Amino acid sequence: MHAELSGLPPILIQVGTAETLLDDATRIAERLHRAGVSVRLAVWPNMLHVFPLFAPILSEGSDGCAEIGAFIRNGCA
């Protein structure tokens, strides 16, 4: 939270509303934005920590992985 953030590449932050670190995710996204970093904050309803890892058994996990893939394919924009 206290690092120098300017100059970082585009960043995708996925966080669920049931995530313990939701507040931290929103704060770092705001700090990245203020530092001029291209950042996309994706807040997923009712999802918990690392939900994309549950892709084999959770449709939202699969959707989260698809979002990551699209972010990368689109040049991280």
| Mean pLDDT, the chain cut into blocks of 10 residues (77 residues total) | 91 97 97 97 96 95 96 87
The predicted pLDDT at position 76 comes to 79
Other Cβ atoms closer than 10 A to 53: 11
How many whole angstroms separate alpha carbon 60 and alpha carbon 38?
A: 24
The predicted pLDDT at position 68 comes to 96
The predicted pLDDT at position 75 comes to 83
The predicted pLDDT at position 46 comes to 96
Full-model pTM? 0.91
Residue for token pair 């966080």:
15
The predicted pLDDT at position 2 comes to 82
